[in-house]
């Protein structure tokens, strides 16, 4: 029988409330769910366990308040004799005798139990713990306040589903169940990271609506147990009250990495382009990569200044329809009359250029209803988009569309993204170049294209020379050499890859080489027949020189045909990890690198839902625990 089944069986026999706070291990040892301290309970006594709770965790409630279900405690007595007149005196006499006998035989000071007491038996302790865990999961995953356990309708629902389950109080949830689940999940995440060879980190900062500052750090890796996807965990979304200087940030990040034992597994750190975080990473002597999506954002924001006057008109129109319900109703009526779906205007966000593209794309989609509505309402101040403005908007949308698509695809979390950067840069440069050579476009659009061209070169001009990005591109069986636009950069990348493969020494290298050398010497001593063949084999597999074997792996890999662009490169490598053992180890260090720091921004999107109006009083430690569980719980 497995240990988990044994624990469940043991818990089913326990009835003391103290077992809500302990997990049975083995040899009469129990672990405290609050502090993980191990205590002996030999002989079945819970005195040690109870004493530990009272002295070390006095605020943790020992038992839950049991609500007596009136339907379960009803006393069903024998019915009173009927007072109606019975015409049969014999029946009356027998009924009276039976009633007297029953009253005489029944104990006087005991009440008869109802059948409900046998149907609604107390649930086992293991089942109660499972429901507790699911309750915590519901709260942290669905962003419910802890006070949900006190909502009357919620309690009624739970009573209908499981009448004998004792719903924990809010204090029990926050001070006992949540920390227990946090500790369990923390151990699970640490176990996952133990066998990982390489980790990429992404980090960013965030300030809550209550003016609390947090720093989020996520880790991305290829899990040996599931090596066909890029796995990710949240190391922490932790309060950071110090000044955001490079020294303070580097100290914070270094302590976190050492706490998780990732110092010798760290392959790169991806952040935005802020000077303080870049300096902090370099102070730690780690390799830093710029967030590709953030760089795209800066490039596009610079180009949008060329059409700023047209965009201001659009923003005013969108704001007008957002504030006036009458104007919005008219706009919807015109969309119905034209037989088109009712679409709402979108306002842009200054920190996200994608929202500017959405705003332009939406106003073009409902151009005719917008013009008709503004004309009927007679708002001359807003009806100011000239035909030239509409031409500028349509061309700007066509240019920005490809940047929008690149941003969406590069922001994936579970798939390889780092190897796509060189291809996307080459595609963007070619697309902008074609637009820039079109003399029929408005001058504003030509200026916009020129800014895009200059910014692309300034930010991405040397990406093919970056060792991490170039090696990751070569190790992607979908692209290899064909992703590069410069032949010299491609050759340099191949040489870097060979040098890396040469430096990798496998555990099985020495025994194999000794075996080959032994077999060769034996054959030489006995006969010269196999000398030439053995020497050829030694040369092909690299002999006792692992660097030669690494070069052979690289050349053999590069000569294989490309796989389909829609296929998963990690699946391809998982199937061939024994064919290219050195390159596979390097692949796990390169393809786990994220192209963007978007995973941290997604954490902050969740944090915004956690720290809402109903949760504005949450402490920073509780916010950190909730976000950790939200991201890492399976």
Task: Kindly report the pTM of this predicted structure.
Answer: 0.78
Window from 16-30, 183-197, 250-264, 554-568 with minimum mean pLDDT: 16-30
pLDDT of 1 reads 42
pLDDT tens digits, 82-94: 343 444 444 444 4
CA 69 – CA 52 distance, rounded (Å): 33
Tokens of 304: 């949008």
Q: Is residue 508 very low, low, confident or very high in pLDDT (cuts 50, 70, 90)?
A: low
The per-residue pLDDT for 539 is 56
Instruction: Give the model's confidence band at 134: pLDDT under 50 very low, under 70 low, under 90 confident, else very high.
Output: very high
Distance from C-alpha of 130 to C-alpha of 121, rounded to nearest angstrom: 17
The pLDDT-based confidence of 102 (bands split at 50, 70, 90) is very low
Residues above pLDDT 90, as percent of the chain: 54
Residue 136: CB atoms within 10 A of its CB come to 22
Residue 46: per-residue pLDDT: 79
> What is the predicted pLDDT for the residue at 529?
64
Alpha-carbon separation of residue 394 from 225, 296, 306, 329 (angstroms): 49, 20, 15, 26
Of the pLDDT bands very low, low, confident and very high (cuts 50, 70, 90), residue 6 is very low
pLDDT of res. 206: 87
How many Å apart are CA 290 and CA 298, to the nearest integer? Answer: 12
* CA end-to-end span of the chain: 25
List, in order, residues 6 or more apart from 257 with CB less than 8 Å away: 201, 263, 266, 284
User: Predicted confidence band at 95 (pLDDT cuts at 50, 70, 90)?
Assistant: very low
Q: What is the mean pLDDT of residues 91-101?
A: 42
| Residue 379: burial class (beta carbons within 10 Å; 0-12, 13-18, 19+) | middle
């Amino acid at each position: 029988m497995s240990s988990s089944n044994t624990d469940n069986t043991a818990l089913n026999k326990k009835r003391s409330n103290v077992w809500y706070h302990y997990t049975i291990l083995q040899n009469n040892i129990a672990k405290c769910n609050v502090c993980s301290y191990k205590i002996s309970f030999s002989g079945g006594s819970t005195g040690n366990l109870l004493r530990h709770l009272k002295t070390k965790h006095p605020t943790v409630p020992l038992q839950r308040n049991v609500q007596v279900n009136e339907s379960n405690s009803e006393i069903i007595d024998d019915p009173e004799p009927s007072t109606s007149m019975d015409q049969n005196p014999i029946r009356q006499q027998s009924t009276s005798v039976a009633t007297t006998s029953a009253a005489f035989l029944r104990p006087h000071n005991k009440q008869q139990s109802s059948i409900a007491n046998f149907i609604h038996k107390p649930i086992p302790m293991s089942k109660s713990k499972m429901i507790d865990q699911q309750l915590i999961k519901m709260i942290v995953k669905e962003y419910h306040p802890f006070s949900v356990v006190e909502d009357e309708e919620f309690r009624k629902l739970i009573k209908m589903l499981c009448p004998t389950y004792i719903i924990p109080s809010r204090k029990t949830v926050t001070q006992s169940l949540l920390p227990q689940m946090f500790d369990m999940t923390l151990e699970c995440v640490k176990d996952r990271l133990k066998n990982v060879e390489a980790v990429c980190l992404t980090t960013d900062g965030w300030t809550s609506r209550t003016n609390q500052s947090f720093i989020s750090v996520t880790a991305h890796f290829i899990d040996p147990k599931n090596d066909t996807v890029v796995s990710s965990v949240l190391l922490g979304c932790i309060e950071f009250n110090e000044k955001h200087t490079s020294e303070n940030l580097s100290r914070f990040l270094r302590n976190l990495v050492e706490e998780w034992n990732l110092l010798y597994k760290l392959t790169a750190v991806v952040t935005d382009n802020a000077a303080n975080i870049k300096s902090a990473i370099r102070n730690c002597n780690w390799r830093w990569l710029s967030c590709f999506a953030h760089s795209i954002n800066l490039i596009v924001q610079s180009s949008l200044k060329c059409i700023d006057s047209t965009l201001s008109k659009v923003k005013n129109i969108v704001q007008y329809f957002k504030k006036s319900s009458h104007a919005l109703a008219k706009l919807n009526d015109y969309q119905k009359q034209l037989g088109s779906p009712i679409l709402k205007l979108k306002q842009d966000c200054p920190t996200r250029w994608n929202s500017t593209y959405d705003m332009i794309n939406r106003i073009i989609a409902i151009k005719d209803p917008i013009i008709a509505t503004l004309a009927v309402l007679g708002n001359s101040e807003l009806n100011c988009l000239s035909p030239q403005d509409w031409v500028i908007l349509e061309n700007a949308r066509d240019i920005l569309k490809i940047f929008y698509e690149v941003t969406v695809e590069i922001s994936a979390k579970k798939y390889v993204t780092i190897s796509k950067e060189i291809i996307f840069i080459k595609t963007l440069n070619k697309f902008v170049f074609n637009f820039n050579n079109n003399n029929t476009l408005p001058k504003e659009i030509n200026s916009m294209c020129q800014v895009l061209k200059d910014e692309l070169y300034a930010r991405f001009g040397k990406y093919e020379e970056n060792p991490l990005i170039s090696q990751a591109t070569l190790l992607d069986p979908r692209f290899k050499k064909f992703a590069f636009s410069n032949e010299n950069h491609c050759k340099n990348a191949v040489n870097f890859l060979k040098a890396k493969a040469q430096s990798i020494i496998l555990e099985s290298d020495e025994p194999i080489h000794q075996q080959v050398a032994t077999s060769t010497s034996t054959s030489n001593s006995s006969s010269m027949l196999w000398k030439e063949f053995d020497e050829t084999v030694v040369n092909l597999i690299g002999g006792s020189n692992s660097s030669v074997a690494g070069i052979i792996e690289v050349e053999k890999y590069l000569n294989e045909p490309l796989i389909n662009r829609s296929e998963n490169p990690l699946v391809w490598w998982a199937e061939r990890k024994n064919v290219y053992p050195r390159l596979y180890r390097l692949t796990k260090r390169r393809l786990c690198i994220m192209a963007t720091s978007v995973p941290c921004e997604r954490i902050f999107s969740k944090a915004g839902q956690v720290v809402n109006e109903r949760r504005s009083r949450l402490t920073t430690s509780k916010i950190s625990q909730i976000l950790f569980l939200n991201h890492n719980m399976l």
